[in-house]
Chain A
């Protein structure tokens, strides 16, 4: 063992994010004092980010299997069968902490990292999405963060040439000091060409490819596992720097090599870089690794073993090759002008042995390192769920359409075009549904099949009731996929929460997992990959619980889809699903009272299944080509969005039932869709809903250039479009006060 440069003190242990009891555990495993490099290795492997030590016991309860699942959680990304030998590979991951500190690079490297998780498995990335939460618009940092994050996502994804086709953007004061940047990548592979990270076999070459290693991002994983304080800006050096050009070359080189018979195992170097990639590959393969750091391509001079093992330099991969295939593999990487270096070998010792300049810098039993991370059953309190409120308890508006206009021109509902026009959403030539609808659809290249993708969560619902709110998030993605005509297949989740050491936060997490479990199980919509981001908190103030859900579905034939744009005059708009005028936690309630109160809208999974099946069937039969799910802002907002998308107006029919009319127009009852139907087909659609015991009624007729409602001044589409399109660009252009 090399000389430890200085004595390991309790302060140094604490700086590495290890508790005194965790350090005692480390001493017991090694049977001696660690070297400085070993301390670094344990600290990143046991960080919350890498070890899931607070969340693991609960994540195990999620449904992760199904006949469509080829690979569930535990690999770089989940893999789901698309039929015909095609598989879809996807995952969502957070880059919250770095994006707050350095928004452009934080977001860019988030996109790069999630793409590597996908192509590591042999899949060509075909679509990116991102779920973004920013602070209140009036908060001093928000504009700067929006600008940096959006530029960073675009700057990276556009250059790599993977279309960014969907996502969501929210503003809420709860994210003032902790924004959320969750990036999702979806890739396509052949089911017989999936690559895994298990390095099975002894005496095999361990190969490093991609960019050189620098000092950037050292301890990124540890930073992402702690809350912020007033000195968070000082953490900027822990943020990595992205190089999308190298990523593009790395994708092409890896996919080219994967066509040959050279690779036994492959893993990207993400959080905790060389440490976690080597440790995971060795552990899964049941082997040991030797790593000679002298051979690691280095960008800077004088790097220590500690720095190289902990660097989070981007665009790097670790591979284990079949012996003798090194020259063939090297030729591929040289062609793409990327580094290629044999840095070690698999062994039968079961140990990770790291040498540098002739010294052994680390010698750790691999399985113990990978599996000995502490697992915490953190104490938790269930969230006190508020009671359901009656619609009448929320005051009526003066006018429905005027309120609609105000809401559509505000931060919650304003068009996100300013964001997605900065993303290349068409490159690769298969985007058959662009951003702005319920779900985006990309074709499986060269076929008529499509992959539908969406991501969603409504944090205000989750805050009020984590279990119901998360159930809602899952079903909303399911409905979004259904609305374009896709069969929902599986989800990835990104669990963003505050400090889990606070029992109320842990209670939110537990409730959220329970809600997700139930929805996924009942809908046969399993969780195949995911990421947990905890400690999204500053000076003791946490974010709203935000379990972002990424949903993926398959469209059997892209010539039979639906989208939200009205297409014809004189179609009838039919609402399918139960209407109860639920206003608790609704955008209307917030608009009318300035508060969010009561329980969020309940979800009925049995009704969801029935409505979903009906909508998909109608689309496949060619009877319906225009569908929108009803979510934020309720029915009237859904209709307005359909009108704007198709540039055709709608005459709303006055509601004459027993509930207050405004609750019908603005209520956020779940399980509902709006369908535009030819009048000749309307009776059949209503009848088929009736046969399933699903409520359905005609609510409007399309036509004209305005939205109108008896007794109110019509709202012209031009005016509505102006307010809806101008809020975000106007906000971004305004000079910070």
Chain B
């Protein structure tokens, strides 16, 4: 049994997509939790989906980070419940302090929607255990504000602790400018907290989890979660 909860903020628009991906891959029903609720029911993992929570009118993710449900998400995360933030969900994780850094406007100043190649730099987090370190996978991005920024000390610490989960890369796995869609510092596409249980990333794994959609690059994030349910992390 895997009890997954997806938080629905007003303006979330990938909530259904991630629910479908989780249910199809894990085989267990997913619980949708409204932002105004006081608490998340007991869950093995929580997902903050993509979209434009509260319209992103006051900086992306900023309002959602202070919504009633986030108090409980933060408490549960600190108590060890795994949390995955995708796109806007990653922005919310940063705004709520569960992950360091912020997401700024893309360097191009344009919204960008396309497949990117990612290099797996951490294959031990809760959501990446089914990948192999150094592997190159394809997932789509769709954002206007995905340009990861943190000060040099924070970036050094993240890298030193192996907490960069995915990096944008070219087709050969080089994390260079050509492979960077949004100007992110050190090509960072996703990071995790010190425990490896809170993961945030800009790409959308739920959009490429079956062949019919054009690829399966994101599938193993959800398989990793399922594996963890059977074989808990130490």
Which residues on the B side are within 8 Å of A420 (C-beta)?
A: 113
Binary contact readout B170-211 vs A (1 if CB under 8 angstroms, 0 otherwise)? 000000000000000000000000000000000010110000
Which residues on the A side are within 8 Å of B50 (C-beta)?
A: 427
The reply on A244 being an interface residue by CB < 8 A is: yes
Which residues on the A side are within 8 Å of B140 (C-beta)?
A: 426
The reply on A161 being an interface residue by CB < 8 A is: yes
Cβ A244 vs Cβ B111 within 8 A: no
Known: A427-B13, A429-B16, A432-B213. A245 touches B57 (CB 8 A): yes
Q: 9 other contacts beyond A423-B111, A426-B204, with CB at 8 A cut-off?
A: A161-B13, A161-B14, A245-B56, A424-B113, A426-B213, A427-B207, A428-B13, A428-B16, A429-B213
Instruction: Specify the chain A residue showing the minimal Cβ separation from B204.
Output: A426
Cβ B54 vs Cβ A158 within 8 A: no
List A residues 238-264 near B (Cβ within 8 Å): 243-246, 248-249
How many A residues, CB 8 Å from partner?
31
Cβ B113 vs Cβ A159 within 8 A: no
Binary contact readout A432-472 vs B (1 if CB under 8 angstroms, 0 otherwise)? 10100000000100000000000000000000000000000
The reply on B90 being an interface residue by CB < 8 A is: no
Known: A158-B142, A422-B113, A443-B212. A429 touches B10 (CB 8 A): no
Cβ A154 vs Cβ B111 within 8 A: yes
Instruction: Specify the chain A residue showing the minimal Cβ separation from B14.
Output: A427
The reply on A736 being an interface residue by CB < 8 A is: no
Known: A424-B142, A429-B207, A429-B213. A243 touches B113 (CB 8 A): no
The reply on B217 being an interface residue by CB < 8 A is: no
What is the bound-complex CA distance between A589 and B48, given in angstroms?
55
The reply on A160 being an interface residue by CB < 8 A is: yes
The reply on A559 being an interface residue by CB < 8 A is: yes
**How far, in Å, is B174 (CB) from chain A's closest CB?**
19
The reply on B55 being an interface residue by CB < 8 A is: yes
List B residues 35-79 near A (Cβ within 8 Å): 50-52, 54-57
Which residues on the B side are within 8 Å of A158 (C-beta)?
A: 52, 111, 113, 142, 144
The reply on A421 being an interface residue by CB < 8 A is: yes
What is the bound-complex CA distance between A245 and B56, given in angstroms?
9
Instruction: Specify the chain A residue showing the minimal Cβ separation from B210.
Output: A429
Cβ B52 vs Cβ A559 within 8 A: no
Q: What 5 A-B pairs have minimum CB-CB distances, sorted nearest first?
A: A161-B13, A245-B55, A429-B17, A159-B52, A424-B142
Known: A249-B10, A427-B13, A429-B213. A421 touches B52 (CB 8 A): no
Which residues on the B side are within 8 Å of A427 (C-beta)?
A: 13-14, 17, 50, 142, 207
Candidate in A160, A161, A423, A429 with the most chain B CB atoms within 10 angstroms: A429
**How far, in Å, is A337 (CB) from chain B's closest CB?**
7
Which residues on the B side are within 8 Å of A129 (C-beta)?
A: none
Known: A421-B112, A424-B113, A443-B212. A248 touches B142 (CB 8 A): no
Cβ A248 vs Cβ B52 within 8 A: yes
**How far, in Å, is A465 (CB) from chain B's closest CB?**
38
What is the bound-complex CA distance between A154 and B114, given in angstroms?
14
Cβ B21 vs Cβ A429 within 8 A: yes
What is the bound-complex CA distance between A336 and B54, given in angstroms?
11
Which residues on the A side are within 8 Å of B13 (C-beta)?
A: 159-161, 248, 427-428
**How far, in Å, is B121 (CB) from chain A's closest CB?**
25
What is the bound-complex CA distance between A443 and B213, given in angstroms?
10
Instruction: Specify the chain A residue showing the minimal Cβ separation from B181.
Output: A421
**How far, in Å, is B230 (CB) from chain A's closest CB?**
26
How many B residues, CB 8 Å from partner?
29
Which residues on the A side are within 8 Å of B214 (C-beta)?
A: 432, 434
List A residues 296-332 near B (Cβ within 8 Å): none
Q: Can you pick out 26 interface pairs between chain A and chain B where the beta carbons lie within 8 Å of each other?
A: A155-B111, A158-B52, A158-B142, A158-B144, A159-B52, A159-B56, A161-B14, A161-B51, A161-B52, A245-B55, A249-B10, A421-B114, A422-B113, A423-B113, A426-B113, A426-B140, A426-B207, A426-B213, A428-B13, A428-B17, A429-B17, A429-B207, A432-B213, A432-B214, A434-B214, A558-B212
The reply on B11 being an interface residue by CB < 8 A is: yes
Which residues on the A side are within 8 Å of B207 (C-beta)?
A: 426-427, 429
The reply on A425 being an interface residue by CB < 8 A is: yes
Cβ B113 vs Cβ A421 within 8 A: yes
The reply on A55 being an interface residue by CB < 8 A is: no
The reply on B20 being an interface residue by CB < 8 A is: yes
| Residue from B14, B52, B114 within 8 A of A245 (CB atoms) | B52
The reply on B132 being an interface residue by CB < 8 A is: no
The reply on A225 being an interface residue by CB < 8 A is: no
What is the bound-complex CA distance between A496 and B16, given in angstroms?
37
Instruction: Specify the chain B residue showing the minimal Cβ separation from A431.
Output: B213
Binary contact readout A395-414 vs B (1 if CB under 8 angstroms, 0 otherwise)? 00000000000000000000
The reply on B157 being an interface residue by CB < 8 A is: no
Binary contact readout A640-658 vs B (1 if CB under 8 angstroms, 0 otherwise)? 0000000000000000000
Which residues on the A side are within 8 Å of B212 (C-beta)?
A: 432, 443, 558-559
Candidate in A155, A245, A423, A426 with the most chain B CB atoms within 10 angstroms: A426
Cβ A245 vs Cβ B54 within 8 A: yes
**How far, in Å, is A198 (CB) from chain B's closest CB?**
31
Which residues on the B side are within 8 Å of A422 (C-beta)?
A: 110-113
Cβ B10 vs Cβ A336 within 8 A: yes
What is the bound-complex CA distance between A428 and B113, given in angstroms?
14
What is the bound-complex CA distance between A429 and B56, given in angstroms?
22
Cβ A429 vs Cβ B20 within 8 A: yes
What is the bound-complex CA distance between A285 and B112, given in angstroms?
46
Instruction: Specify the chain A residue showing the minimal Cβ separation from B52.
Output: A159
What is the bound-complex CA distance between A428 and B207, given in angstroms?
8
Which residues on the B side are within 8 Å of A243 (C-beta)?
A: 55
What is the bound-complex CA distance between A158 and B21, given in angstroms?
20
Instruction: Specify the chain B residue showing the minimal Cβ separation from A338.
Output: B10
**How far, in Å, is B29 (CB) from chain A's closest CB?**
14
Instruction: Specify the chain B residue showing the minimal Cβ separation from A559.
Output: B212
Which residues on the B side are within 8 Å of A443 (C-beta)?
A: 212
Instruction: Specify the chain A residue showing the minimal Cβ separation from B13.
Output: A161
Which residues on the B side are within 8 Å of A151 (C-beta)?
A: 110-111
Which residues on the A side are within 8 Å of B51 (C-beta)?
A: 161
Which residues on the B side are within 8 Å of A155 (C-beta)?
A: 111
Binary contact readout B3-22 vs A (1 if CB under 8 angstroms, 0 otherwise)? 00000001101101100110
Which residues on the A side are within 8 Å of B213 (C-beta)?
A: 426, 429, 431-432
Which residues on the B side are within 8 Å of A249 (C-beta)?
A: 10-11
Instruction: Specify the chain A residue showing the minimal Cβ separation from B209.
Output: A429
What is the bound-complex CA distance between A154 and B20, given in angstroms?
25
What is the bound-complex CA distance between A30 and B191, given in angstroms?
69
Cβ B20 vs Cβ A425 within 8 A: no
What is the bound-complex CA distance between A428 and B20, given in angstroms?
10
What is the bound-complex CA distance between A155 and B113, given in angstroms?
12
**How far, in Å, is A478 (CB) from chain B's closest CB?**
25
List A residues 213-257 near B (Cβ within 8 Å): 243-246, 248-249
**How far, in Å, is A257 (CB) from chain B's closest CB?**
16
What is the bound-complex CA distance between A151 and B214, given in angstroms?
26
**How far, in Å, is A647 (CB) from chain B's closest CB?**
12
What is the bound-complex CA distance between A526 and B56, given in angstroms?
41
Cβ B55 vs Cβ A159 within 8 A: yes
**How far, in Å, is B221 (CB) from chain A's closest CB?**
15
**How far, in Å, is A212 (CB) from chain B's closest CB?**
15
**How far, in Å, is B219 (CB) from chain A's closest CB?**
13
Which residues on the A side are within 8 Å of B54 (C-beta)?
A: 245
Which residues on the B side are within 8 Å of A423 (C-beta)?
A: 111, 113
**How far, in Å, is B113 (CB) from chain A's closest CB?**
5
What is the bound-complex CA distance between A431 and B14, given in angstroms?
13
**How far, in Å, is B77 (CB) from chain A's closest CB?**
26
What is the bound-complex CA distance between A423 and B113, given in angstroms?
6
Cβ B52 vs Cβ A244 within 8 A: yes
Binary contact readout B132-145 vs A (1 if CB under 8 angstroms, 0 otherwise)? 00000000101010
**How far, in Å, is A501 (CB) from chain B's closest CB?**
41
Which residues on the B side are within 8 Å of A336 (C-beta)?
A: 10
What is the bound-complex CA distance between A248 and B111, given in angstroms?
19
Which residues on the A side are within 8 Å of B206 (C-beta)?
A: 429
| Residue from B55, B56, B111 within 8 A of A424 (CB atoms) | B111
Binary contact readout A506-530 vs B (1 if CB under 8 angstroms, 0 otherwise)? 0000000000000000000000000
